[in-house]
Amino acid sequence: MSFILNLIVFFLIIGVIITLHEFGHFIAAKFFNVYCGSFSIGMGPKLYEHKGKETKFELRALPIGGFVTMAGEADQEDNEEFKNVPLERTLKGKRTYQKVIIFLAGVFMNFVLALVIMLSLNFTVGRLPVNEARVGSLVKGEAAAKAGMKKDDVIINIESPVSNKSSLISSYEDMNAALTKKELGVDGDTANINVTVNRKSESVVINMNVKFDENQNKYVLGITEATRRMNFTESIRNAFSTLGAMSVAIFEALEALILNFTKTVKQMSGPVGIYQVTAQVTKTGSIANIFYLMALLSVNIGIFNLLPIPGLDGAQTLFAIIEGIIHRELPVNVKYTLQIIGLSLILLLMVIVTYQDITKLLR
């Protein structure tokens, strides 16, 4: 049952992202009066078709892609449907800026989707850390809970009785920094410390034994940070900063892929890997986490489509700009050949990362 649920969530996430991406192309093309033969969600055999005024709206069997066919595209030269379409209603008959808008509209919609999701999450459940080392919750069975620390205690000092070294604490970052071996002046798997907290305007000293965590490179109290609701301004600022951070991270990953392909490609994931991540997020039972994953994947797909690889929106945009500069069309057979090569390279990369995902899954 969980497998079916995970699969449904996976296809819904991918389906929404791709549908909005293709809708961006479609709505921009229609705005500039380009003849659109079909608007298809999914790939493979046709399951459903509805004929509009001039566009066929299709639902196909495999929910892993989608497309819009437009008169004047390089790969639609032999499409009989477009033979009698007037030049002014084809991509070839449009100005450079109009072509660029049409080609980039899908990426734009990917970013709009991500931004809307993050704004919605911030306005409804968004939280930020408080400006002090306040205890949000205690991890059962860990040092702080065993020693009697309580929710809403504010940590103001951490001291090691062994080394007599102490640190004043004014933030959660100060607390983490004070719990390193260097700051405590100790070296061992466990350490005895005195933690002074402000509890209802009274100072309380709590003695506890804490364990060292190799992954975090510090001793761990076993508490979570207290948070507060975001206000309106913080919600907007955080949404844009998160979107920016996502974008930078993806560009850094692409740079690493170019500079060190062999090493970086091993860290990439295809549809199988994305499904695994989706399954893990679904298991948390958090709708917010599922929507955050959708936002992250939408940004990923948007930026990937910006790459100047023939077959992707980035290359289409580049071709349009070059044609605008030289004032003539690039040879259709050249564009079509480059598109086939580009899509073949993308397919090859997809096969490699999918093979890696399946290998990891079977280990």
- Average pLDDT estimate for 131-141: 93
Helix or strand holding residue 26 (H, E): helix 2-31
CB atoms within 10 A of CB 305: 21
Kindly report, residue by residue over 86-116, the tens digit of the pLDDT: 999 999 899 999 999 999 999 999 999 999 9
Token pair in block for residue 286: 């958090």
Token pair in block for residue 326: 């030289």
Lowest mean pLDDT among 32-36, 169-173, 199-203, 250-254: 250-254
Supply the DSSP string of 138-204, one letter for each residue: E-TTSHHHHHT--TT-EEEEEE-TTT--EEE-SSHHHHHHHTSHHHHT--SSEEEEEEEEEETTEEE
Kindly report, residue by residue over 296-353, the tens digit of the pLDDT: 999 988 988 888 888 889 889 998 999 899 988 888 788 888 888 888 888 887 787 7
Q: Say if domain 129-229 classifies as CATH 2.30.42.10.
A: yes
Q: What's the pLDDT band for 162 if we cut at 50, 70, 90?
A: very high
Q: How far is CA 304 from the centre of its chain?
A: 12
Strand-pair category, 223-225 with 56-70: unpaired
Q: Is the dihedral of CA 347, 350, 352, 355 positive or negative?
A: negative
Token pair in block for residue 49: 């078709």
| pLDDT computed for residue 266 by the predictor | 66
Q: What's the pLDDT band for 261 if we cut at 50, 70, 90?
A: low
Question: Where do you find CATH 2.30.42.10 in the chain?
Answer: 129-229
Q: Do the beta carbons of residue 126 and residue 235 sit within 8 Å?
A: yes
Q: What is the pTM of this model?
A: 0.82
